[in-house]
Amino acid sequence: MTSPPTDVDAGAEPGLGLHPDRLLPSEPGVREIARRLYAAVRDLPIISPHGHVPPQWLAEDVPFADPTSLLLSPDHYIFRLLHAQGVDLADLGVGGRRLDEEASRRAWRTFCEHWRDFRGTPSRFWMESELGDIFGVTVRPSAATADSIYDEIAARLATPSFRPRALMKRFGIEVLATTDDPVDDLAHHRALREDDTFASRVIPTFRPDRYLEPARTDFGELVTALGASSGEDTGSYTGYIAALESRRRYFVEHGAVSSDHSHADVLTLTLEQPEAARIYAAALRGEATDAEATAFRRHMLVEMARMATDDGLVMTLHPGVHRNHSSATLAAFGPDTGHDIPVSVEFTRGLHPLLERFGTAPRFQLVLFTLDETVFSREIAPLAGFYASVYAGAPWWFLDAPEAVRRYRGAVTETAGFYRTSGFIDDTRAFLSIPARHDMSRRLDSAYLARLVAEHRLQEDEALETAIDLVTTIPRKAFKL
């Protein structure tokens, strides 16, 4: 591990940067408008239609263990940047490693000692909000303040008001979507739905990626499990399709509103049924070629769209990620540990076969996300500006940062407007960062709308209505909530 940077402010114990006007325009007149818009949306309930918080946390309402396992270990935004500074992921509890008290404190000290490395990042904004707004921390993280901040957070986590359900209520989260494997029995979701004392809506999301990729070495095992959970014989392509349809219905019955898909690309095609069955059978024998496996996956995206027209699940796509870029990190810590890297992507030609069949289907809705912001104005906005079924997904994952959000609004609004977008998506495993992320979005949208008012492109009453719709009616429509 490299030596931590020297914190020149450590002795002074300066405060956090929680200025009430953070992210609002600097021009006084525009700022006043933005303040009024932000005040109207600041405390509205949070709708989070795409995220990764474990439903078990809320179903069992078990107290959080310590600051590190809550705030650092699950947050890839935090630990990937620490890794870039030479910190061993094992020392941060990444990959499900359990740290004892001493190791947990040491990890927290490491984070605080590296606080300067987060300057200018959205992680800095979110963490400051978490520390200050949620835990009442008033000093800046540093080598000198690390232990006192740790103790302050740990003391609060031991109280009933900081258990998951209490925080859910405090954050004002009206809807929280999780991301779930197709064979999950959804027992935790069922427990929450049947609990009359729990007011929020926690809904599963159908994530079938692994089951659509016959190039995987474990594809046979996966579809066997799919068959067991659905009661269908997945030894044939027909049974495989029936199993997926069955599990989607099961998710709908348990409150799901969307399916989530992330593949290397969104090229789509339709195979004739005999050809799809042939490739499927070859995949089960481990004999499908790379070209056949890729064709099958692209065919299955169209099949997912077909199923969506039947069961009504909103289809969300977020392609263009080189998963598990570091094989050594994957072997040591598993997937989703900070080394998924964006690549360029194409939508217009790739989605044409899918949209030719279902783009104007009455029940079909498709939300397009990307890690490649070059396609916001060139492809996503024009698609959302024509097809009633298509929505421009919010900037997320590497793009959920202030400057990228501003660029998104400028790139998308001119072609698709505000009402063909998805609303903000926090896409996080870091539960306590949810209000900070949504607050950031509300501030940035208030600032964007304020500038339109100041430039006499909108009346303020229109901007106010839009600001409210961006956090209420727009996500509800995009995700059929």
Query: CA-to-CA distance for 162 and 152, rounded, in angstroms?
Result: 12
| pLDDT confidence of residue 5 | 44
Q: Give the dihedral sign, CA 375/377/379/383.
A: positive
* 298 and 346 share one domain: yes
* 206 and 328 share one domain: yes
E strands present in 11-112: 46-48
- On the question of pLDDT at 11 being above 60, the answer is no
CATH value at residue 311: 3.20.20.140
Within 234-289, residue ranges assigned H as helices are 237-253, 273-284
Which of 142, 162, 182 marks a domain boundary?
A: 162
Q: Is residue 8 part of a domain?
A: no
Average pLDDT over residues 228-248: 98
Domain range for residue 362?
165-478
| pLDDT confidence of residue 2 | 43
Q: Is residue 364 part of a domain?
A: yes
The token pair that represents 143 in the structure block: 């080598």
| pLDDT confidence of residue 10 | 39
424 phi and psi, to 5 degrees? -70, 145
Which of 125, 143, 162 marks a domain boundary?
A: 162
* 192 and 307 share one domain: yes
- On the question of pLDDT at 16 being above 80, the answer is yes
Which of 122, 143, 162 marks a domain boundary?
A: 162
* 189 and 338 share one domain: yes
- Nearest CA-CA partner of 126 in 428, 471, 446: 428
| pLDDT confidence of residue 14 | 74
* 129 and 184 share one domain: no
The token pair that represents 395 in the structure block: 């900037």
Which of helix, strand or coil describes residue 478?
Answer: helix
DSSP state string for 158-220: TSGGGSHHHHHHHHTEEEEE--B-TT---HHHHHHHT-TT--SEEE--B--GGGG-TTSTTHH
* 70 and 108 share one domain: yes
Query: CA-to-CA distance for 215 and 287, rounded, in angstroms?
Result: 10
* 224 and 98 share one domain: no
Query: CA-to-CA distance for 6 and 433, rounded, in angstroms?
Result: 27
351 phi and psi, to 5 degrees? -90, -5
Average pLDDT over residues 43-54: 96
Torsion angle defined by CA atoms of residues 10, 13, 15 and 16, in that order, rounded to the nearest 10 degrees: 40
Q: Is residue 49 part of a domain?
A: no
* 148 and 169 share one domain: no
What is the count of structural domains for the chain? 2
pLDDT tens figures, 352-362: 999 999 999 99
- On the question of pLDDT at 263 being above 90, the answer is yes
Q: What's the pTM?
A: 0.94
Query: CA-to-CA distance for 317 and 250, rounded, in angstroms?
Result: 21
Torsion angle defined by CA atoms of residues 429, 174, 155 and 103, in that order, rounded to the nearest 10 degrees: -10
